Amino acid sequence: MKNRLKELREAFGLTQEQLGNLIGVSRQAINSIETEKCEPSIWLAYDISKVFHKSIEYIFLFEESEKKSRAKQIRGVI
């Protein structure tokens, strides 16, 4: 899922490790989200949104994602 996490993190002057510490995950987890290797849980996305005072929808760009909805994949709708 495309996101603005790196852009926001750098604008706030945070390292991946510092952001991870703020929300209780590893630096590697932050890296995986920034590089679109994994998608955060809704609770992790919520915690991230609170750090940056932005909406989840602003940080995580659902409409621009190249991945299709998992529900559609499961139903074979793609």
Tell me the pLDDT tens digit for each residue of 11-25.
999 999 999 999 999
Q: How far is CA 60 from CA 47, 51, 75, in A?
A: 13, 14, 24
44, 50 in Cβ contact below 8 A? no
Rounded percentage of the chain residues whose pLDDT exceeds 90: 77
Domains and CATH numbers, the chain: 5-75 (1.10.260.40)
